[in-house]
Amino acid sequence: MTERSRFSFTISATDGAARTGVISMKRGDIRTPAFMPVGTAATVKAMKPVDVRAAGADIILGNTYHLMLRPGAERVARLGGLHRFMGWGRPILTDSGGYQVMSLSELTKRTEEGVAFASHLDGSRHLITPERSIEIQRLLGSDIVMAFDELVPTTSTRDEQAAAMERSMRWARRSRDAFLAGGKHAEAAAQFGIQQGALDEGLRKASADALIDIGFDGYAVGGLAVGEGQEAMFGCLDFAPGQLPADRPRYLMGVGKPDDIVGAVERGIDMFDCVLPTRSGRTGQAFTADGPINLKNARFAEDQEPLDPSCACQVCTTWSRAYIHHLIRAGEILGAMLMTEHNINFYQQLMAGLRAAIEEGRLAAFAGDFRRRYRKEA
């Protein structure tokens, strides 16, 4: 058996700006475009890893911010790393903590050094710097390590956006240096830089050039899906991916709704992550080819159809909307389990459909069919 490569990205077909291919890593292949279920606190909420895999996921995401606070990165390392800890042997991408530290923690103080903050769990004080973020991701045993960056709202002034982007690029350099100093981990893992610059084409270009100058295995489009709306996001994606190297994976962080993903794939994005399928599963929203439906609704009380009549997942071939409506109304854990499993299957089936459509040069027809049928609001 030949040893698997650290990181390679092979594009097998393109269709317009869209591409399909395979990222090959030590722990397995990642078919792109890929959707990464979010395993926040070392668990894809309400799902066993074996069912996440059975749905078709090649890679999951872990959150540096959550894991550094509980159970702690050093503890995970002592327990053999995140893969062994949670029972998922395939690739894991870890974010840098930059997004959550600004959105979840309190009393944050940003300096050139990094971000000081108080834990949302117990108020304990922490400092996260580019170097500490990379160290945490190494302790977790991450396969794809994200650079530590700074976020500002897309509604900030251009000067604020420029300053945050420039600091993020300095932090990207420090993140890269810290990663490459990581010894054995750096020989087995990959690292992605994160493009910033809000919705401004010039700032995005400057950010891309700075990252390319540093040199990463892949590149993320950061700072989107933060409330700017789909039209503005697509507007940015009309130029941002093209500023990044064509031969490297492009990852759109924190996106998104099914229709967001279809539009982003058409614009050249290869990787996605989002809590939507898991979180929605716990609040009663199921994704279907006709759009999202809320299973709490009384109209499903005697509906014998599966969640999505066009879905082949185990949930849809076993249980009715009426049963899942009952479980959710009764507050049963199984309701969250079945909804989450279906939603993750829905997302993975969507990605498989997109990959096949690109491979066969019929993405426009696939996306058109999808949009004609999919109602964005339940």
Q: Which residues are catalytic?
A: 95, 273
CB atoms within 10 A of CB 74: 12
The DSSP 8-state label assigned to residue 378 in this structure reads: -
Of 177 and 303, the one with the shorter C-beta distance to a second copy is 303
d(CA 14, CA 345): 25
**Which phi and psi angles does 42 have, rounded to 5°?**
70, 25
Of 79 and 364, the one with the shorter C-beta distance to a second copy is 79
Inter-residue contact 97 to 65 (CB < 8 Å): yes
Strand bridging mode 115-118 / 106-110: antiparallel
Q: Which long-range contacts (CB under 8 A, 24 or more apart) does 352-360 make?
A: 352/56, 354/18, 354/20, 354/33, 354/261, 354/262, 354/265, 355/20, 355/31, 355/32, 355/33, 357/15, 358/13, 358/14, 358/15, 358/18, 358/19, 358/20, 358/33, 358/265, 359/12, 359/13, 359/20
Q: Which two tokens stand for residue 8?
A: 């390679």
For 174-306, strand residue ranges (E) read: 190-195, 218-221, 250-252, 271-274, 285-286, 293-294
CB of 339 to a second copy, least distance (A): 11
Of 42 and 367, the one with the shorter C-beta distance to a second copy is 42
d(CA 195, CA 211): 7
If you count them, how many residues does the chain have? 378
The DSSP 8-state label assigned to residue 38 in this structure reads: B
Of 11 and 334, the one with the shorter C-beta distance to a second copy is 334
Of 243 and 278, the one with the shorter C-beta distance to a second copy is 278
CB of 186 to a second copy, least distance (A): 27
Of 297 and 320, the one with the shorter C-beta distance to a second copy is 320
Radius of gyration of the chain (CA): 20
CB of 57 to a second copy, least distance (A): 16
Sheet holding 28-32, edge to edge: 7-15, 18-25, 28-32
Residues forming the site for a second copy (CB under 8 A) = 41-43, 45-48, 70-71, 75, 78-80, 85-87, 282, 301-302, 304, 318-320, 322-323, 326-327, 329-330, 332-334, 336-338
CB of 296 to a second copy, least distance (A): 13
d(CA 135, CA 243): 29
d(CA 335, CA 85): 26
